[in-house]
C-alpha cells in the first residue's frame, strides 16, 4: 500500500473516529466494531489510524512483541531474545490485517516449512496473532470470516494467550490485542459471541446532505489524483491527532474516576439490564479515555453519556429480532438516568 488516506481527512463520521481514538488511548477498552453502509470509509479509518499510533518498546528481535518492562515469565517459554545486554527496540504499535482467505496456520502460527523442507528442522513460525500482540488485529468484512477462524479468535481473545498444539509442536505465547472489525450488516450477521468481544460498537451511515457528500467525493478525488500531495497537505492535521493520542495515553492513568461516576455507570447498566460486568467496565474505561483525550482530570456525566451508546448498545439483552428497539431503549434510559437527575439538582 503506497499512500494511506489521512485519518483527519475523513469527512464527518465523528462517532467512528472517536471510538477508534478511545481504543488507541486505552487499549483495555476492548475492540471496536464498525458496521455500516458501503463506501463510508470504515476500513479507510482503521487503516489510517495505524499511521498515527505511537511507538512502543519491544524486546529486540522478539517475534512476539514482548514488553521489555515485563518479566520473562509472560513470554514464550525459552525466549532467547530477552537478554540484559541487548537494548530494547522501538516499533510502532502494530495494526495487523487479518485478510479474508487466511489459513489457520498463518493465524496461529505453524511449523516453519522452509526449515522443515530445507534443513529437516522443526521450528515454529509465529503467525498473525503473535504479530498483533500488544497492538490491533483488524478484520475487514468480519461477518464473512469463516467460522473456524472466529472460534479460534474468540478463544485467544478470551485467554490473551495463543496455544498451538499441532504438528508435533507445543507452543504458547501471549497474544493480547485489540480486535477491530468492520463490515456491512447486509452481508450477514455476526455471531453473538464475537459481538460480545468488542468493547465498543457503532454503526455508520452514508451522509445524506449534499454538502457533506460533495466534500467526501472531492477529497477522495484529490487524494487519488495525487496521493503524496494530499497526504502532505493534511500532515498538520494528522500531527494534531498524533498529539491527541499521545497526550491521551500519557494522561489516561491519572484521570480520576470518582465514586459518583462509578455509581452512575452502575445505574445505567442496571437500568438497561446489561449482563455481566464487562459493559460497566468498558463504559468506565471508555469514559476515562475520553476524559484523557479531552484533557479533563476526572470522569463526569458528560463523558459517560457520550460513550454509553457505543459501549453498551450491543450488550443489551438481545432480542435478535429487534434491532431498532435497542437504540430506542438506550436513549430512553440515558434520558431517564441523566435528565431526571439533572432536573432534581
Partner 1 sequence: MIAFASALDQIPDGPPPAPGASSAPSAPSAAELEDRTAWPDALLAATIVAVDPAGVGGVVVRSFPGPVRDRWMACVTGLFPKSVPVRRVPLHVTDDRLLGGLDLAATLRSGRPVAERGLLVEADGGVLILAMAERAEASSVARLTATLDTGEVAVERDGFALRHPSRFGVIALDEGVDWEERPTAGLRDRLGLHLDLSDVSVREADVSVAPFDLAAIANARGLLAQVTIEDDLVEALCGTALALGVESLRASGLAVRVARIHAALCGVSAVRAEDATAAARLVLGPRATRLPMPEPEEQPEPEAQSSEPEQPPNPPDDPANEPPADSTENETQSQTPQQDLDKPLEDQVLEAAEAAIPLGLLAMLQADTRRRAAGSTGGKAGAAQIVQRGGRPMGSRRGELKPGVRVAVLDTLRVAAPWQRLRRLEISQAEASNTDVSPRVLVRPDDIRVTRFKRRRGTVTIFAVDASGSASLNRLAEAKGAVELLLADCYVRRDEVALISFRGAGAEVLLPPTRSLTRAKRQLGVLPGGGGTPLAAGIDAAAVLAERIVKQGRSVSLVFLIDGRPNVGRDGLGGRERAQADADDAARQIAISGFPALVVDMSARPQPASRTLAGIMKAVYLPLPRADSRTLSRAVQAATTGA
What residues act catalytically?
Answer: 278
Of 77, 86, 90, 206, the residue at the interface with partner 1 (CB under 8 A) is 206
Q: Does 228 bind partner 1 (CB under 8 A)?
A: no
Per-residue contact flags (x/-) with partner 1 for residues 126 to 165, judged by CB under 8 A: -xx-----------xx--x-xxx-----------------
Q: Find, among 174, 179, 171, 181, the residue nearest to 109 by Cα.
A: 171
Our finding on whether 269 is near partner 1 (CB under 8 A) is: no
Handedness of CA 199, 205, 211, 216 (dihedral sign): positive
Burial class (CB in 10 A: 0-12, 13-18, 19+), 115: middle
Q: Which of 112, 161, 294, 301 binds partner 1 (CB under 8 A)?
A: 112
Residue 69 CB, shortest distance to partner 1, in Å, is 28
Q: How many residues bind partner 1 (CB under 8 A)?
A: 67
Name the residue nearer to partner 1 (CB basis): 148 or 240.
148
184: contact with partner 1 by CB under 8 A: yes
Q: Which of 121, 155, 165, 187 binds partner 1 (CB under 8 A)?
A: 187
Going 226 to 217 to 203 to 190, the CA torsion angle's sign is negative
Per-position b or e across 231-242, b if 16+ CB within 10 A of its CB: beebeeebeebb
Q: Which residues pair with 91 in a beta bridge?
A: 56
Q: 111 vs 293, which CB is nearer to partner 1?
A: 111
> What is the C-alpha separation between 87 and 106, in angstroms, rounded?
29
107 binds partner 1 (CB under 8 A): yes
Measured from the CB atom, the residue of 83 and 319 that comes closer to partner 1 is 319
Choose which of 114, 155, 263, 275 interacts with partner 1 (CB under 8 A).
Answer: 114
Residue 256 gets which letter from DSSP?
Answer: B
- Is residue 321 a contact point for partner 1 (CB under 8 A)? yes
If one asks whether residue 14 binds partner 1 (CB under 8 A), the answer comes out as no
Closer CB to partner 1, 117 or 260, in the complex:
117
Exactly one of 77, 90, 103, 254 binds partner 1 (CB under 8 A); which one?
103
Cite the DSSP H helix spans in 226-300. Answer: 227-251, 259-272, 278-294
- Binding to partner 1 (CB under 8 A) within 19-78 occurs at 37-40, 43, 47
Sign of CA dihedral 235, 241, 243, 249: negative
Give the separation between CA 140 and CA 33, rounded to whole angstroms.
10
Under 8 Å between Cβ of 31 and 179? yes
Provide the 3-class DSSP secondary structure of residue 127.
Answer: coil
Site for partner 1 in 324-343 (CB under 8 A): none
Residue 105 touches partner 1, criterion: CB under 8 A? yes
- Annotate 293-325 with DSSP letters as a single string: HHT-SB--HHHHHHHHHHHHGGGSPP-TT-SHH
| Residue 1: CB minimum distance to partner 1, A | 6
What is d(CA 313, CA 302) in angstroms, rounded to the nearest whole number?
18
Q: What is the DSSP letter of 197?
A: H
The residues of the shown chain that bind partner 1, judged by CB under 8 A, are 1-2, 37-40, 43, 47, 97-107, 110-114, 116-118, 120, 125, 127-128, 140-141, 144, 146-148, 167, 184-189, 191, 205-211, 213-214, 216-218, 220-221, 224-226, 319-323
Amino acid at each position: 500500500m503506497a499512500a494511506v488516506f489521512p485519518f483527519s481527512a475523513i469527512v464527518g463520521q465523528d462517532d467512528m473516529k472517536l471510538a477508534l481514538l478511545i481504543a488507541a488511548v486505552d487499549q483495555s477498552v476492548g475492540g471496536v466494531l464498525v458496521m455500516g453502509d458501503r463506501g463510508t470509509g470504515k476500513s479507510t479509518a482503521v487503516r489510517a489510524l495505524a499511521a498515527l499510533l505511537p511507538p512502543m518498546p519491544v524486546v529486540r528481535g522478539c517475534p512476539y512483541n514482548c514488553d521489555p518492562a515485563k518479566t520473562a515469565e509472560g513470554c514464550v517459554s525459552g525466549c532467547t531474545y530477552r537478554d540484559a545486554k541487548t537494548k530494547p527496540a522501538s516499533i510502532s504499535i502494530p495494526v495487523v490485517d487479518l485478510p479474508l482467505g487466511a489459513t489457520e496456520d498463518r493465524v496461529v502460527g505453524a511449523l516453519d516449512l522452509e526449515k522443515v523442507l530445507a534443513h529437516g528442522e522443526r521450528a515454529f513460525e509465529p503467525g498473525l496473532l503473535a504479530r498483533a500482540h500488544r497492538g490491533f488485529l483488524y478484520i475487514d468484512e468480519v461477518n464473512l470470516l469463516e467460522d473456524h477462524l472466529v472460534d479460534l479468535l474468540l478463544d485467544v481473545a478470551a485467554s490473551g494467550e495463543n496455544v498451538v498444539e499441532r504438528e508435533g509442536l507445543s507452543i504458547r505465547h501471549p497474544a493480547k490485542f485489540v480486535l477491530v472489525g468492520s463490515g456491512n450488516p447486509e452481508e450477514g450477521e455476526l455471531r453473538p459471541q464475537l459481538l460480545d468481544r468488542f468493547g465498543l460498537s457503532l454503526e455508520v451511515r452514508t451522509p445524506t446532505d449534499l454538502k457533506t457528500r460533495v466534500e467526501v467525493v472531492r477529497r477522495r478525488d484529490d487524494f487519488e489524483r495525487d496521493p503524496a500531495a494530499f497526504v502532505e497537505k493534511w500532515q498538520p492535521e494528522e500531527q494534531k491527532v498524533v498529539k491527541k493520542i499521545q497526550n491521551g495515553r500519557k494522561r489516561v492513568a491519572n484521570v480520576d474516576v470518582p465514586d459518583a461516576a462509578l455509581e452512575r455507570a452502575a445505574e445505567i447498566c442496571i437500568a438497561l439490564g446489561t449482563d455481566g460486568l464487562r459493559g460497566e467496565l468498558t463504559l468506565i474505561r471508555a469514559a476515562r479515555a475520553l476524559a484523557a483525550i479531552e484533557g479533563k482530570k476526572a470522569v463526569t456525566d458528560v463523558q459517560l453519556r457520550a460513550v454509553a451508546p457505543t459501549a453498551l448498545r450491543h450488550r443489551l439483552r438481545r432480542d435478535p429480532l429487534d434491532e431498532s428497539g435497542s437504540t430506542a431503549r438506550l436513549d430512553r434510559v440515558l434520558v431517564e438516568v441523566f435528565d431526571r437527575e439533572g432536573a432534581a439538582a
